[in-house]
Amino acid sequence: DSGVTQTPKHLITATGQRVTLRCSPRSGDLSVYWYQQSLDQGLQFLIQYYNGEERAKGNILERFSAQQFPDLHSELNLSSLELGDSALYFCASSALTGWDEKLFFGSGTQLSVL
C-alpha cells in the first residue's frame, strides 16, 4: 500500500458530462501529481501541485482543471468529456524535499466515457 488514496476506482459516464477525481496524498507529502495513462499515449504528465499552489503544468487540456486544498488532498475535474478521455488517471505524491523526488502512486481511477 503506497499510502496514496484515489477515489473512485471506476467511473463510467457519458460524453459531454463532468466528473471529479479525488486524491489523498501520503501523510506528510506536500506535492501531488496527476497523470493520464492510455494505451496509445503511455503515461502523460498533466499537472503538479505543491502545498496548494500549482507548480508545473504538462499537456493538460483546457477542459481539465485541478486544485489542491488546504488539507492537501487534490481533485482533478474533467468536463465536456469526450470518448478519447477514457483512460486510467493516476495521482502520485512526494515529499518534494528539493532533490531526488520519488513518487508514490495511488491505484488509479479508471474512467470510461461512453
Which residues contact another protein (rule: CB under 8 A)? 2, 4, 33, 35, 41-45, 48, 55-56, 58-59, 88, 90, 92, 99-108, 110
CB of 17 or CB of 41, closer to another protein: 41
Q: How far is the CB of 16 from another protein (least distance, A)?
A: 27
Contacts of 21 (CB under 8 A, 6+ apart): 6, 7, 8, 11, 75, 76, 77, 78, 89, 91, 109, 111
In angstroms, give the least distance from the CB of 72 to another protein.
Answer: 18
- Separation between Cα atoms, residue 99 and residue 84, nearest integer Å: 35
Kindly tell me which of 15 and 54 has the beta carbon lying closer to another protein. 54
For residue 83, give the 3-state DSSP assignment. Answer: helix
Nearer to another protein, 5 or 65 (CB): 5
Smaller CB separation from another protein, 27 or 102: 102
* Cell numbers at 108, concatenated: 488509479
